[in-house]
Structure 1
Amino acid sequence: MTEENKENTAPAAKPENTALPVAHKFLVGQKLGMTQVFDAAGSLHAVTVVKAGPCRVAYTRTKENDGYQAVCLGFGHKPDKGANSAEKGLAKKLATKPIRHLKEFRVTDLAGAVAGQTASVERFAEGQYVDLQGISKGKGFAGGMKRHGFHGGPASHGASDRERAPGSLGSRRSLGRVLPGQRMAGHMGVDTVSVMKVKIIKIIPEENMILVNSGIPGPKGSMVCITLTNKKINVANAVNLKAKSKKDAIVAKKPAAKK
């Protein structure tokens, strides 16, 4: 074997395990469930616990090679027998076990992101607002009333088998067909659902956990994508406004002080 062939067949060098630049505000995690916590002001919040990271940068996309820029994060591992050839090859390149979840995040600038880096929950801070994305629970085959909220037919008069029927589907003879996109019975759930502008109530770095003030689509154990929101945040708190109006109403009811 020549020296050139020896170099080509040499095992890949183990990537340097450094931190992903904090400019990239996104993570992949796992939904653990819901609980409730008190904040510093004593208010009780219903929160969802997400185990986010540590995530590994699996690869990056560049405009020169792929036509767009993105950073792919990997989260969790699975056994070798459950991985295909591509997943095993990626794991060998990263010198790790096969990755269970992979998610690409589009970026305008890679900002020093390279394969092998790690990302933790410390890139977020308490009080920030994030967008959450998950896969909704599967409901199986559902009718029009459950799937789309149809009214249904009258239950007091008419045929007994028309109470939950969707009703007419098409037009007259001149059309003679059902238009594409007609809402009908079918498979419900297992859809990509996003929840926007959710506040981070608490971060537990030693356990890689983020507590967010909202429910998250999907069952326990499902994958969740967390991204710092770029939408406008209304600073006014509806709860505080309600409490203030209630306090003003109580003050208004009090009789005027006697002179």
Structure 2
Amino acid sequence: MKFILGKKLGMSQVYGENGNVIPVTVVEVEPNTVVQIKGRDKDGYEAIQIGYGTRKAKNIKSAQKGHFKDLGSFAVLKEFRFDSKGKKSRGEEQESIDSANLTVGQKIDVTIFTPGDSVKVTGTTKGRGFQGVVKRHGFHGMPASHGAHSVLRHAGSIGQRFPQHTLKGMRMAGRMGTNKLTTRGLKIVTVDLENNLLAIKGAVPGNKGGLLMIQSQG
């Protein structure tokens, strides 16, 4: 399994072999560092912990300094999980951690990917603030004529006479966005080794500058 952390720079477009325009998301991928390899015997699950980015040493807690050792001052730590039992998740065969063939302190960069690779990208969606039910949940709203007044984008009834309380899970207005989202079935279009950039076909979750987890699929 191939995986790496990167930063979303924004969208652009490239031209294919036939001259057709391909919309792509450009991701900046600085070299990642393997910080820890977790095993089932000691940690209860299998995962590889990756460090990405840098921050000032004064902002790192003493416990983190001991964990990082001499590997660097990382801004972000993320884990990529494995399963040696070969279980399937969302129809995908889970690989053993031994197949990664990585060691603590090893660097991971864009060279692990090649154009045409299928990947899934996980990020945090854009925050939309407090939104009503029409935008947040796709409600159709109330009738716009025949005496309707000031209720066009209202939610309508949120319950019944009995039981005399609002049921859990009722879709209502509230904060929208800033959720973890994974987009699957994306393709690597180009790999820029000189500038540490990946061009991924289509859109990926999140704002410009947002952290992305890129993982091979299939």
TM-score normalized by the length of structure 1: 0.75
- Report deviation, 1:64: 1.2
The 1-side partners of 2:106 and 2:151 are apart by: 59
Q: Does 1:106 align with 2:94?
A: no
Aligned to 1:52: 29
Instruction: Report the aligned-residue RMSD.
Output: 1.5
- Report deviation, 1:77: 0.8
Given candidates 178, 195, 207, the residue that maps to 1:207 is: 195
State the Cα deviation string for residues 115-135 of structure 1 (Å, max 9, x = none): 211101111110111001110
Given candidates 197, 200, 203, the residue that maps to 2:185 is: 197
Q: Does 1:168 align with 2:144?
A: no
The 2-side partners of 1:226 and 1:220 are apart by: 16
Q: Does 1:180 align with 2:165?
A: no
Aligned to 2:131: 142
State the Cα deviation string for residues 205-254 of structure 1 (Å, max 9, x = none): 12111101111111111000101112xxxxxxxxxxxxxxxxxxxxxxxx
Q: Is the helix fraction higher in 1 or 2?
A: 1
Q: Is the 8 A contact 1:136 1:192 kept in 2?
A: yes
The 2-side partners of 1:95 and 1:105 are apart by: 19
Given candidates 52, 65, 70, the residue that maps to 1:94 is: 70
Provide the identity percentage.
39
Q: Is the 8 A contact 2:122 2:205 kept in 1?
A: yes
- Report deviation, 1:75: 1.1
**Larger-gyration structure (1/2):** 1
- Report deviation, 1:30: 0.4
Q: Would the alpha carbon gap of residues 209 and 141 (structure 1) be closer, same or farther in structure 2, given more than 3 Å must change?
A: same
- Report deviation, 1:40: 2.5
The 1-side partners of 2:21 and 2:42 are apart by: 50
Q: Does 1:37 align with 2:14?
A: yes
Which deviates the most, 44-53 or 185-194? 44-53
Q: Would the alpha carbon gap of residues 129 and 95 (structure 1) be closer, same or farther in structure 2, given more than 3 Å must change?
A: closer
Q: Is the 8 A contact 2:35 2:71 kept in 1?
A: no
Q: Is the 8 A contact 1:74 1:100 kept in 2?
A: yes
Q: Is the 8 A contact 1:152 1:166 kept in 2?
A: yes
3-state SS of paired residue (2:98):
coil
The 2-side partners of 1:70 and 1:179 are apart by: 38
Aligned to 1:224: 212
The 2-side partners of 1:158 and 1:190 are apart by: 38
- Report deviation, 1:151: 0.8
- Report deviation, 1:41: 2.7
3-state SS of paired residue (2:194):
helix
The 1-side partners of 2:178 and 2:58 are apart by: 26
- Report deviation, 1:159: 4.7
Q: Which runs of 5+ in 1 are unaligned?
A: 1-23, 231-259
Q: Which runs of 5+ in 2 are unaligned?
A: 83-95
| Matched AA of 1:54 | P
Given candidates 81, 84, 99, the residue that maps to 2:61 is: 84
State the Cα deviation string for residues 10-52 of structure 1 (Å, max 9, x = none): xxxxxxxxxxxxxx40111000111111122322111100012
